Amino acid sequence: MAEIRRPDDMVRITTPELADAFIEEQVNIAREQIGDKKVLLALSGGVDSSVVAALLIKAVGKQLVCVHVNHGLLRKGEPEQVIEVFGKQLDANLIYVDAVDRFLDKLEGVDDPEEKRHIIGEEFIDVFADEARKLEGVDFLAQGTIWPDILESEDGIKAHHNAGGLPEDIAERFELVEPVRILFKDEVRVVGKQLGLPDNMVYRQPFPGPGLGVRCPGAITRDRLEAVRESDAILREEFEKAGLAGKVWQYFTVVPDFKSTGITDGKRTFDWPCIIRAINTTDVMQVSVEHLEPELIDRLAMRITTEVEGINRVLYDFTPKPPATVEYE
């Protein structure tokens, strides 16, 4: 595929009209490139892969094969939303892979953070490659690469894998299709909005590849992971209600692997704490803490301790980056 460069004088895509022009151009390019062949996409439900999916559905319809891998570390409601938006509303060719047991079994007892990340990454590639091997006549692989990914890989900050780090027998079968390669993140969001994707998909906060796995520090257990997922859902709901959802850069919960004594209905409990983290940043290198209203903190403490199984204490993380990182692992 010809190298695509972002022209130095390219107009920043900030309006629906500019997004429409971009979509029309990329639809034509994709049709020309793909012809009557099939194209495969790993659809996580994040902003970039969702926008690529919507764009390619517009361009080549059912010739796009989306694979959504549920690794068990997604937020509450995410796999369901992918199925609803892409499988139903956009009538895409969607393969849903329930790999929850496969991932959680592999992660059982693994408490080293780097090993956890490694297993999640490797396993993801394995699951996706298995699906790719099952498909016949797919010549293209679509990716949600965006312009900062290219810049970072040129700077040597982050390895930008061609074909997503897939094993060679799979990678060499495909030609890459990267329709949002020349866009910055804010432009991808304008294009996604114009393609009709729901706001909570287009404007969603950053979410790490290893998902809730890095918010369940130490060896992941299904019950503690569920406590992370449920508390995260409550936090997101309360931030939405308080009008903070689009304003705070990132907010989530962490359930560490230790217990403390509490009391409920006159009886002793021995449960995990739930840590709330809410931060703001422009460059992710330096991060400041969002100071929440006391009423919101009170409501979160009350809801999380009463609604989430296994939690008897709510803590707030007041640490900027540096010295702390955003995620716990």
Q: Which is nearer to ligand XMP, 233 or 326 (CB)?
A: 326
Which member of 20, 139, 290, 327 binds ligand XMP (CB under 6 A)?
Answer: 327
Report the distance separating Cα 132 and Cα 66, nearest Å: 11
| Nearest to ligand XMP of 65, 107 (CB atom) | 107
250 contributes a contact to ligand XMP by CB under 6 A: yes
Among 165, 209, 218, 320, which residue interacts with ligand XMP (rule: CB under 6 A)? Answer: 209
C-beta of 16 vs 121, nearer to ligand XMP: 121
Tell whether residue 148 is a contact of ligand XMP (CB under 6 A).
Answer: no
Q: Ramachandran region of residue 42, left (φ > 0), alpha (ψ -120 to 50) or beta? A: beta
Nearer to ligand XMP, 126 or 327 (CB): 327
213 counts as binding ligand XMP under rule CB under 6 A: no
Q: How many residues bind ligand XMP (CB under 6 A)?
A: 10
Stretch that binds ligand XMP, among 15-23, 70-78, 137-145, 321-329 (CB under 6 A): 321-329
The yes or no reply on residue 326 touching ligand XMP (CB under 6 A) is: yes
From 14, 28, 261, 325, residue interacting with ligand XMP (rule: CB under 6 A): 325
Return the number of the residue (114 or 265) whose C-beta is nearest ligand XMP: 114
Is 321 a binding residue for ligand XMP by CB under 6 A? The answer is: yes
Q: Which of 35, 61, 196, 206 binds ligand XMP (CB under 6 A)?
A: 206
Spatial separation of the C-alpha atoms in residues 188 and 193, rounded to whole Å: 9
Q: Does 113 bind ligand XMP (CB under 6 A)?
A: no
A 10 A CB-CB count for 210 gives: 21
What tokens does 139 get?
Answer: 């010549």
Least distance from C-beta 329 to ligand XMP, angstroms?
8
Residues 107 and 98 sit within 8 Å (Cβ to Cβ): no
Over the window 275 to 314, marking each residue x when it contacts ligand XMP by CB under 6 A and - when it does not, the resulting string is ---------x------------------------------
Binding stretches for ligand XMP (CB under 6 A): 206, 208-210, 250, 284, 321, 325-327
